[in-house]
Structure 1
Amino acid sequence: MSNNRRLPYVPIIIIAVIIAITVAVIMWFKPDQNAVASSETNSGQVKNNTNNTTSDSSDSDSGAAILSGQNNTQFTTGLENLPRSLQGTEVDGEIIIDENKQLIVTEGLRRLFDYFLSALGEEEEAVIYARVESYIRSHTPEPAASQAVAIFDQYIAYLKAIPEIEKRYGNLQLQATKSGELDLNAVTQQKQDVSKLRQQYFSKETITAFFGTEDDYDDYSMEMVRINQNTQLSDAQKEAAKQDYISRMPDNTTKANIAQQANLNELMTRTEQMKAKGASPEALYNMRRELVGAPAAARLAQVDQEDANFDQRFDQYQTQKQRLLSRNADKAQAQTQINQLEQQLFNDTERKRLAGYAAMQQQNAAAAQ
């Protein structure tokens, strides 16, 4: 069973993140982490979605019938002749059942669907459908297998319906971005339309399992944007409002991840401020220990030492490099000597950083003027 695939959002780029969130509803994500192909548990409440009826069920059923009508005898486990993008990977997601062999719907089931759907373009839709159905039935007993296949039918129908909503709001998102602020009213309305669409295709249990974590992050990100766009609040009041919102979130993994990310953001900000004021290594360590703990503070102190050592060697390299170029009329010979200098001062990994590091220093110097 794999962990939540999302990571907390970074408030510095919060507006861009919100746009990505609202657009991302129509995307089929390839999962970030490997996980076991399937598992069984002997506990949990039965979540039976095979009898879930929707206003668009006829469309979903007809689509499933067409796909099921394809020849899926080419697959036994669904893992035969995987497309190139999936070769060498492990199936992400999970299929969990209870003691009565009823399906327990989890976010991992959605990840399982997305794992195979990520190959769309390399494989035809009918082939992917046959592959997923074969995988489910070869790894899952009845009635859970048929329940999972039924939810996959609903998921495909839902994904096909999502682009229509995006069409209605895509231009509004672009216009809001160009104006400098995100139109939260438009984003809220779009989320409501998406929520209504989900209710047409899925049971409440499936909606919570498939999209609950995603919605938590969306709500958090929207609130952060709302606070940032509130011109009536001072910076201190905005920070207090953000912390208050996080404190009122339900105690779960999402809240823990967001709180950790908030600490990291504060850590970066305070580190930059303290270094600019010439803070001592001891002061930096104490500040970091308060925010992220002693082990992390010690690792960051070590990184600071390594960076300082690299900066010292880089300055030495730049000085000797300029001397070689100015004293040697033969540019080829000078470059040979410069290459030798690089090998003396830097390891293989560090040498790859030299060009980019020099460019960054030039940019910083230009910005400081």
Structure 2
Amino acid sequence: MKRRGWWSMALLAGCAALGWLYWPASTDAQAGPPDAGAAIDQAASLRGTSPDGAVRVDGAGALRVDQELRRLFDYYLATLGERTLPQIRAELQRHLQTRLPAKPLAQAMNLFDRYVAYRQSLAGMAVAASADLSQRLARARAVRLQYFSAAEVAGLFGDEDRYDAFTAQRLAILADPSLSAAEKQRRIALLERQLPPELRAAREEPVKHLALAEAEAALRQRGGGEQELYQLRASMVGQAAADRLSELDREQAAWRQRVNDFTRERAAILANGRLSAKQQQQAVAQLQAQRFSAQEALRLPGFVASH
């Protein structure tokens, strides 16, 4: 399984904190130690994937409580519905037993049980529809302290809390009728500068690519060449990304050429009056099979229709 990007993780985590993700309300699905006969074969949906997240110990041999550990919990809990909680717990414990000594293993499983209870509590938490984001986040944070110590909260949710606080403040600024558009922009820019570097970079990533697309369009409009395009990309997104984009350009150009060649030859076949309609269809099908793989053929209709 691919590791999620920091930005998508922040958004997903924020939804989870508010209880917006599905969680069964049934009280008979408590975690706790698994039954002796609980199956621990890997869940079908996890086969062929690698666990997301990680588990580590500190210099004193104690469990390190951080966001990587929480991601590992969520990786296994994603199979809820496919597996019962006792089965998920058994599968997680089997994974951890090969990586942790007895003491941090016990700490990890205890923390997992509390994390499950926390998420179940959030799912059943009634929040007034009129409550704003700040109120809902404050309620979720209060619930956390019922299950975790302050240090555990910081380790599991610290980055998420910083992003959530930014989001709440940003929405408050945008909703303030006493502020001009320019003042709103200034205050939001100040908020963004206060974000941790990783969060700020992740937040800027989609904006950076939009800006790059606009800059590329302007460069091409004024007749800029490939070297100028590469230099523009390298200056905005780095040399490695510029190399990947250049390779993508070459692949797209080769694909367009293949489609153009196919379209031209297809038109010649359909214009051949010596062939019956059935023979034309057979010839076009044969041409397509020669030029494109079965996977590529799935993409072909949309490109051919545009010619």
- AA paired with 1:107? Q
Distance 1:212 1:345, change over 3 A: same
The separation in 2 between residues aligned to 1:344 and 1:248, in whole angstroms, is 57
The residue number in structure 1 matching 2:35 is 71
CA contact (8 A) 1:120 1:128 kept: yes
Corresponding position of 2:235: 290
Asked whether the 8 Å contact 1:101–1:142 carries over to 2, the reply is: no
Within 2, Cα distance between the matches of 1:127 and 1:332? 58
Q: Give the Cα–Cα distance (whole angstroms) in 1 for the partners of residues 172 and 304 of structure 2.
A: 39
Q: Secondary structure at the match of 1:264?
A: helix
Distance 1:72 1:255 in 2: 47
1:96 aligns to what SS in structure 2? coil
The match for 1:35 is none
Determine whether 1:255 maps to 2:254.
no
Provide the rounded CA distance (Å) in 2 between the counterparts of 1:276 and 1:223: 40
Q: Which residue of 2 aligns with 1:117?
A: 77
Given the superposition, is the C-alpha separation of residues 129 and 344 from structure 1 closer, same or farther in structure 2, using an over 3 Å criterion? closer
**Aligned AA for 2:159?**
T
Deviation at residue 155 of structure 1 after TM alignment: 0.6
Q: 1:257-272 residue pairs with structure 2 within 5 A?
A: 257-272=202-217
Q: Is the 8 A contact 1:94 1:112 kept in 2?
A: yes
Q: Does 1:211 align with 2:157?
A: yes
Gaps of at least 5 residues in structure 2 are none
Report if the CA contact (8 A) 1:107-1:211 is conserved. Answer: yes
Q: Work out the CA distance in 1 between the residues paired with 2:79 and 2:102.
A: 27
Residue 116 of structure 1 aligns to a residue in which SS? helix
* Alignment of 1:160 onto 2:120: yes
Write out per-residue CA displacement over residues 208-227 of structure 1, whole angstroms, 9 at most, x where no aligned residue.
22222333444555667677
Quote how far apart the aligned CAs of 1:195 are: 1.6
Q: Deviations over 1:227-281 (max 9, x none)?
A: 77789436xx95x776654433233x33343344443332233224444565433
The answer to whether structure 1 residue 233 and structure 2 residue 181 are counterparts is: yes
* 1:5 and 2:4 are equivalent in the alignment: yes
Alignment TM-score, normalising by the size of structure 1: 0.64
Once the two structures are TM-superposed, the CA of residue 197 in structure 1 deviates from its matched residue by: 1.5
1:200 maps to what in 2?
146
Which residue identity does 1:103 align to in structure 2? L
Indicate the SS of the match to 2:121.
Answer: helix
The answer to whether the 8 A contact 1:21-1:218 is kept is no
d(CA) in 1 for partners of 2:124, 2:264: 60
Residue 327 of structure 1 deviates from its aligned partner by: 3.7
Contact 1:97 1:144 in 2 (8 A): yes
**Whole-angstrom CA distance in 2 between matches of 1:216 and 1:338:** 58
1:312 and 1:134 mapped to 2: Cα distance? 53
Task: Give 3-state SS (helix, strand or coil) of 1:5's partner.
Answer: coil
Aligned partner of residue 105 in structure 1, secondary structure:
coil
1:274-289 counterparts in 2 under 5 A? 274-275=219-220, 279-289=224-234
Query: 57, 64, 83: which is aligned to 1:97?
Result: 57
Pick closer, same or farther for the CA change 1:292–1:94 going to 2, 3 Å.
Answer: closer
The alpha-carbon deviation at position 95 of structure 1 amounts to 2.9
Task: Quickly say closer, same or farther: Cα 1:137–1:244, change in 2 above 3 A.
Answer: same
CA gap of 1:223–1:353, structure 2 versus 1, over 3 A, is: farther
Structure 2 contact 269–280 (Cα < 8 Å) conserved: yes
Q: Is the 8 A contact 1:289 1:297 kept in 2?
A: yes
CA distance in 2, matches of 1:83, 1:301: 40
Which amino acid in the other structure matches residue 356 of structure 1? G
Aligned length: 296
TM-score normalised over the length of structure 2: 0.75
1:125 and 1:148 mapped to 2: Cα distance? 16
Shift of 1:122: 2.0
| Percent of residue pairs identical | 26
How far apart, CA to CA, are the structure 2 residues paired with 1:265 and 1:127? 45
In structure 1, list runs of 5 or more residues that go unmatched. 10-16, 30-59, 173-184, 363-369
Alpha-carbon distance, 1:158 to partner: 0.7
Counterpart contact for 1:8–1:261, Cα < 8 Å: no
**1:149, CA displacement in angstroms?**
2.2
The 5 A counterparts of 1:159-178 are: 159-165=119-125, 168=127
1:146–1:270 distance in 2 versus 1, CA, 3 Å: same
